[in-house]
Amino acid sequence: MDRQRTFSWQDPGAVAERARTMSGLEFLRSIAGRQVAQAAPVAECLGFQLVEVEEGRVVFELLPAEHHYNPIGSVHGGVLATLCDSAAGAAVHSTLPRGVGYTTLEIKVSFVRGVGAATGVVRCEGRVLAAGSRVATAEARLTDGAGKLFAHCTSTCLILK
């Protein structure tokens, strides 16, 4: 029997325009506090949420489900890489002043063990490692509720003024 899933999202252009009127920390806190609907359509599509924000640190959560699976029955690495990229990038974004953005230049993800629906909620914590005027580096760690590590990454972001 086929399974179905639907989702909806806001106009990403309108959300991005709002983001430019706030500091990165203010914008991310507005997302975590649900004053702004989910900022990224990809987050709606994959089902992850921003749950903690402070300057230089963020946490996203995801409840793995079978619609995240690859053909061999575990969560696709691209889903986990997206979560890691989002956490590392948002950590960088949380340090930026109003009107300044970023983009990921590179990311390296290491998968430690597989994730499945039975894993339960996973948390991806992003932290800034170093921030300059043009480039920032960050890391992210993907863990389960008991703190067991499933993946980790490092990321380099370009600061866009």
What CATH code is carried by the domain that includes residue 121? 3.10.129.10
In this structure, is residue 4 part of a structural domain?
A: no
Domain that holds residue 87: 12-160
In this structure, is residue 59 part of a structural domain?
A: yes
Tally the domains of the chain: 1
Q: What pTM does this model have?
A: 0.95
Give the whole-angstrom CA distance, residue 157 versus residue 1.
43
- pLDDT by residue for the chain (161 residues), tens digit each? 899 999 888 889 988 888 899 999 999 999 998 877 666 899 999 999 999 999 999 999 999 999 999 999 999 999 999 999 999 999 999 999 999 999 999 999 999 999 999 999 999 999 999 999 999 999 999 999 999 999 999 999 999 99
In this structure, is residue 127 part of a structural domain?
A: yes
In this structure, is residue 104 part of a structural domain?
A: yes
In this structure, is residue 33 part of a structural domain?
A: yes
Burial of 113 (0-12, 13-18, 19+ CB in 10 A): exposed
Q: Which residues contact 50 (CB under 8 A, 6 or more apart)?
A: 28, 31, 32, 43, 58, 59, 60, 90
CB 92 within 8 A of CB 133: no
Length of the chain: 161
